[in-house]
């Protein structure tokens, strides 16, 4: 099982077993540490919610705009798919979109 909290408990119990001391105090301090870590993760999730929502909107907006323009004026959008310059523009736009999503994910994902 890959858990930082479990690793912390196991390490503390092993050290306490070797050097002695009050196991109840050690486990109490570890419980406090784990509770604080969970609280901080919740705060970070709350504070980064706007960034995550921005990432979703930025990801979906070009697709929604493409669909809307296709419904309003299909000939206008068809040039992007039939002309070589339009296809290059679409490729560059998709690459830029992917880079933007990756950048937002790196900003929003905060390790604790």
The average pLDDT across 50-74 equals 90
Name the more confident of 112 and 52. 52
What's the rounded Cα separation, in Å, for the pair 108 and 56? Answer: 12
d(CA 45, CA 28): 26
Residue ranges of domains in the chain:
4-46, 48-108
Handedness of CA 7, 12, 13, 17 (dihedral sign): positive
Q: How far apart are CA 56 and CA 39, in angstroms?
A: 25
Residue 23 scores a pLDDT above 90: no
**Confidence band (pLDDT; 50, 70, 90) for 25?**
confident
Report whether 84 contacts 90 (CB < 8 A). no
Q: Convert the pLDDT of each residue in 87-110 to its tens digit.
A: 999 999 999 999 988 888 888 887
- Residues 3, 10: Cα–Cα separation, whole Å: 11
Mean pLDDT of the chain: 88
pLDDT of res. 6: 87
Would the pLDDT of 111 be above 80? Answer: no
């Amino acid at each position: 099982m890959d858990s930082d909290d479990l690793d912390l408990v196991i390490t503390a119990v092993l050290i306490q077993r070797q050097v002695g001391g009050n196991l109840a105090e050690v486990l109490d301090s570890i419980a406090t540490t784990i509770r604080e870590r969970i609280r901080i993760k919740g705060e970070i999730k709350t504070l980064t919610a706007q960034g995550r929502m921005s990432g979703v909107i930025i990801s979906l907006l070009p697709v929604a705009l493409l669909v809307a323009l296709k419904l309003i004026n299909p000939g206008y959008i068809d040039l992007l798919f039939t002309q070589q310059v339009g296809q290059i523009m679409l490729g560059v736009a998709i690459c830029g979109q992917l880079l933007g999503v990756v950048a937002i994910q790196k900003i929003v994902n905060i390790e604790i």
